């Protein structure tokens, strides 16, 4: 194994200290407290207990695993934990760590009680994961030194927060080393409306409940998409705003036409996908569809098809896509 100086920067690791978290939150308008984070009550309650305990004990928290679809708030929740605990958090993505030496370097750079957030943790390579097992359990790393053979190096006590969209891809040994294993629950219509209301207020778009009642069905139940919709509404409102003091039903109708948001929150790319299938008038393979969309197959499968399946617009069989209506 390569021996590393702890200052060696092999992987791009973003360090966030608490002051910059606040700054960051104001920039991105991410919720920065459990109260402003909508829903996932079961998770917030248990995490609050874990944070209180760590503060009372003056120790680190048990390692935490967040599982759930992209855009459900896993990263946001990790930021909130760091802020509430008053510790620094280092952020890295699973696929960016290529060699055991790189994770060793990251672990070595952690201060006492720091949080290491690994997004897409299911993409860690097996030999990188192996370094983590022992680091998570015993806060040490084993290194092979040419002159001394295997040497065990102690680490500062840290908390690992892992986030994954593919829980089933994680190996049992790594799953077992997380004390807390949280699965994010779906957001229902009520939570969607609360999130829209919250972001429109943050973006200074005055509106009323009747408009929110009409608009919430235009977006999927994913906070990131809801947030994006609110940004689009803000941009439209700011541009169109003349005498109107608020985002009215009339503005809402014009906004939907302007943004080409169809019923059932389909965007033009979804329509394009359906038109390709319609034109062909027969089942098509993902590869042909992806070529016609100018996208790669993974993006089509992960970003376009889930909504079409949810809306019963297409059926997916092994290798084929069929138009439902
Ligand atoms: P993930 O890490 O699961 O992909 P993120 O934490 O990056 O998701 O969240 C994406 C965006 O959605 C963030 O900008 C945040 O503002 C918003 N968001 C996520 N969850 C919530 C929530 N529960 N309440 C309000 N906004 C949320």
Predicted local distance difference test score (pLDDT) of residue 28: 57
Predicted local distance difference test score (pLDDT) of residue 24: 34
Known catalytic residue at 317? no
Predicted local distance difference test score (pLDDT) of residue 198: 93
Check which CATH number belongs to the domain holding 272 and give it.
1.10.10.10
Residue-level pLDDT, tens digit, the chain, 325 residues = 333 333 333 344 554 443 332 333 344 578 999 999 999 999 999 999 999 999 999 999 999 999 999 999 999 999 999 999 999 999 999 999 999 999 999 999 999 999 999 999 999 999 999 999 999 999 999 888 777 788 899 999 999 999 999 999 999 999 999 999 999 999 999 999 999 999 999 999 999 999 999 998 888 889 998 999 999 999 999 988 777 789 999 999 999 888 888 766 788 899 999 999 999 989 999 999 999 999 999 899 988 998 898 888 999 988 899 999 6
Alpha helices in 29-73 (DSSP H): 41-57
> Is there a single domain that holds both residue 38 and residue 67?
yes
> Is there a single domain that holds both residue 75 and residue 40?
yes
> Is there a single domain that holds both residue 139 and residue 279?
no
> Is there a single domain that holds both residue 276 and residue 238?
no
> Is there a single domain that holds both residue 207 and residue 129?
no
> Is there a single domain that holds both residue 100 and residue 218?
no
Report whether 74 contacts 66 (CB < 8 A): yes
> Is there a single domain that holds both residue 83 and residue 16?
yes
What is the position in ligand 1's atom list of the atom closest to the CA of 226? 12
| Alpha carbon of 99 to ligand 1 centroid (Å) | 30
Predicted local distance difference test score (pLDDT) of residue 21: 29
Predicted local distance difference test score (pLDDT) of residue 143: 84
Residue finishing a domain among 138, 168, 183: 183
Report whether 15 contacts 24 (CB < 8 A): no
How many domains would you assign to the chain? 3
> Is there a single domain that holds both residue 256 and residue 283?
no
| Alpha carbon of 31 to ligand 1 centroid (Å) | 8
> Is there a single domain that holds both residue 36 and residue 138?
yes
Predicted local distance difference test score (pLDDT) of residue 263: 61
Residue finishing a domain among 221, 244, 265: 265
Check which CATH number belongs to the domain holding 80 and give it.
3.40.50.300
Check which CATH number belongs to the domain holding 246 and give it.
1.10.8.60
Among protein residues, the one with the nearest Cα to ligand 1's atom 27 is: 223
**How does 77-103 read in b/e, with b if 16+ C-beta sit within 10 Å?**
bbbbbbbbbebbbbbbbbebbebbbbb
> Is there a single domain that holds both residue 227 and residue 147?
no
Predicted local distance difference test score (pLDDT) of residue 153: 93
Predicted local distance difference test score (pLDDT) of residue 8: 35
> Is there a single domain that holds both residue 20 and residue 142?
yes
Q: Which domain holds residue 22?
A: 2-183
Residue finishing a domain among 140, 161, 183: 183
Report whether 155 contacts 135 (CB < 8 A): yes
| Alpha carbon of 153 to ligand 1 centroid (Å) | 37
Chain-centroid distance of CA 28 in Å reads: 14
Is the shortest distance between the CB of 38 and ligand 1 below 6 Å? yes
> Is there a single domain that holds both residue 162 and residue 227?
no
């Amino acid at each position: 194994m390569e021996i590393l100086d702890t200052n060696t920067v092999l992987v791009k690791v973003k360090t966030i200290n608490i002051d910059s978290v606040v700054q960051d939150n104001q920039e991105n308008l991410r919720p920065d407290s459990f109260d402003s984070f909508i829903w996932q009550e079961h998770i917030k309650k248990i995490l609050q207990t874990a944070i209180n305990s760590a503060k009372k004990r003056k120790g680190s928290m048990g390692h935490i695993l967040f599982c759930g679809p992209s855009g459900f708030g896993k990263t946001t929740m990790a930021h909130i934990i760091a802020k509430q605990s008053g510790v620094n958090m280092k952020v890295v993505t699973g696929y960016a760590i290529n060699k055991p030496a790189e994770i060793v370097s990251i672990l070595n750079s952690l201060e006492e009680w720091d949080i290491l957030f690994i997004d897409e943790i299911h993409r860690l390579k097996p030999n990188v994961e192996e370094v983590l097992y022992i680091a998570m359990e015993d806060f040490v790393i084993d290194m092979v030194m040419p002159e001394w053979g295997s040497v065990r190096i102690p680490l500062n006590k840290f908390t690992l927060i892992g986030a994954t969209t593919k829980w089933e891809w994680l190996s049992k040994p790594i799953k077992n080393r997380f004390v807390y294993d949280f699965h994010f629950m779906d957001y229902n219509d009520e939570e969607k409306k609360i999130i829209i209301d919250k972001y429109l207020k943050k973006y200074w778009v005055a509106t009323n409940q009747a408009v929110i009642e009409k608009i919430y069905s235009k977006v999927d139940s994913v906070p990131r998409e809801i947030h994006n919709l609110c940004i689009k509404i803000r941009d439209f409102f700011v541009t169109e705003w003349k005498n109107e003091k608020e985002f009215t039903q009339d503005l809402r109708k014009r906004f939907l036409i302007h943004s080409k948001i169809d019923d059932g929150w389909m965007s033009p790319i979804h329509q394009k996908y359906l038109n390709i299938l319609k034109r062909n008038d027969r089942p098509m393979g993902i590869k042909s569809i992806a070529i016609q969309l100018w996208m790669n197959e993974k993006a089509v499968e992960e970003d376009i098809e889930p909504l079409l399946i949810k809306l019963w617009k297409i059926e997916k069989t092994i290798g084929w896509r069929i138009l439902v209506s």
